Amino acid sequence: MLERRDFTDSRLAALASKRPLRMLPNAVVLKLGGQSIIDRGAAAVLPLLDVIVAARPGLELIICTGGGTRARHAYQLGLELGLPSGVLARLGASVAKQNARMIQMLLAGSGAVHVTAEQLDQLPAFLGAGQLPILAGMPPYGYWTTPPAVGRIPEFRTDAGTFLLAEVLGARRAILVKDEDGPYTADPKKDPAARPLGHVSTAELRRLDLPDLIVERCLLDLLEGARLVREVTIVNGLEPQQLAAALAGQDAGVRIYG
């Protein structure tokens, strides 16, 4: 009979130092922002999809989608009703899923396929067949969502979901397409004096302790703890050539590194 002491933390820790497997080392995981991109409609989305279609030959691309204003509307109502974060997370997830389905339809002619969390192990088959997987960016925690450090809106949303997907796959790159040139000293939409920070480390972002940030704050912890993917690239999707350059492997966009 197996004894519990055969599986103590110290015996496991000895194994834990191994570098994990990279399942899809050539994959690029890209998120299209909800409020920042998809809520702008055709004017912002279609030029980016043109870039994606043009860049795709030879590229293992996986697209995740954000939520946006409908998620915010649902969160607001949920907050007023006193609903817990676990329920809010489910509400947010369904908006990201709507967006995933919309992007899938737009890219249907390029072999786009909507992939759910349950189908994740089919990703290699989809990519191998030259298809273009589209996922809702929200992680599948649902009712098991971690209570946030501050307030009640789930902390781990589509930035975190996209990054963790890239991490588990051991992807080459994680790209977040938003509507700014990376992090600023303040929200540039509200503060005209805000300055762009350029490429920046999580340590520097922690030191600055900004009241607002272009990525979910939990991403700093994830970047520092991750074993395989140690940076994300923020691309300004209002300039589609930035995405084209990033997908071509050039040094485009702004990197946040752990």
Partner 1 sequence: MKPPCSPAGAWAALLSLANYVIANAMDKDGRRHIASGLAAESLVDRALLERTAGRGLALLPELWLIAVGGSVFDAGAAPLAALAEASAELSQQHALALSCGGGVRERHTLMIGLDLGLPVGGLAAVAGAASEQNALMLWALLAGRNGVRLPQNDLELLPALLALGRLPVLTSFPPYEYWEFPPERNGLPPHGCDCGALLLAETLGCRLLLLKDVDGLYTADPRRDPQARKLPRLSAAELSDPAFADGPLEPLFGRILARCCRVREVRLLGGLEPGPLRQRLTGGAPGTLLEAGHA
Which residue lies nearer to partner 1 by CB, 55 or 160?
160
Q: According to CB under 8 A, which residues from 93 to 112 bind partner 1?
A: none
| DSSP letters for 39-101 | GGTHHHHHHHHHHHHHH-TT-EEEEEE---HHHHHHHHHHHHHT--HHHHHHHHHHHHHHHHH
| Smallest gap from residue 164 Cβ to partner 1 (A) | 5
Could you tell me the smallest distance in angstroms from the CB atom of residue 84 to partner 1?
A: 5
Q: Which 227-256 positions form the footprint of partner 1 (CB under 8 A)?
A: 227-228
Q: Binding string, 15-54, against partner 1, x = CB under 8 A?
A: xxxxxxx-x-----------xx--xxx-xx----------
Stretch that binds partner 1, among 49-57, 155-163, 198-206, 243-251 (CB under 8 A): 155-163
- Chain Cα centroid distance, residue 243: 15
In a 10 Å sphere around its CB, with 0-12 CB exposed, 13-18 middle and 19+ buried, how is residue 231 labelled? middle
Stretch that binds partner 1, among 53-61, 113-121, 197-205, 247-255 (CB under 8 A): 113-121
Q: What is the DSSP letter of 160?
A: H
Answer for the pair 152, 91: CB distance below 8 angstroms, yes or no: no
Contact flag: residue 193 with partner 1 (CB under 8 A): no
**In this chain, which of 46, 50, 54, 69 binds partner 1, going by CB under 8 A?**
69
Determine contact, residues 257/223, Cβ cutoff 8 Å: yes
Residue 81 interacts with partner 1 (CB under 8 A): yes or no? yes
Residue 217 within binding range of partner 1, rule CB under 8 A: yes
Burial 185-205 (b: 16+ CB within 10 A, else e): eeebeeeeebeebebbbbeeb
Q: Which of 133, 139, 182, 240 binds partner 1 (CB under 8 A)?
A: 139
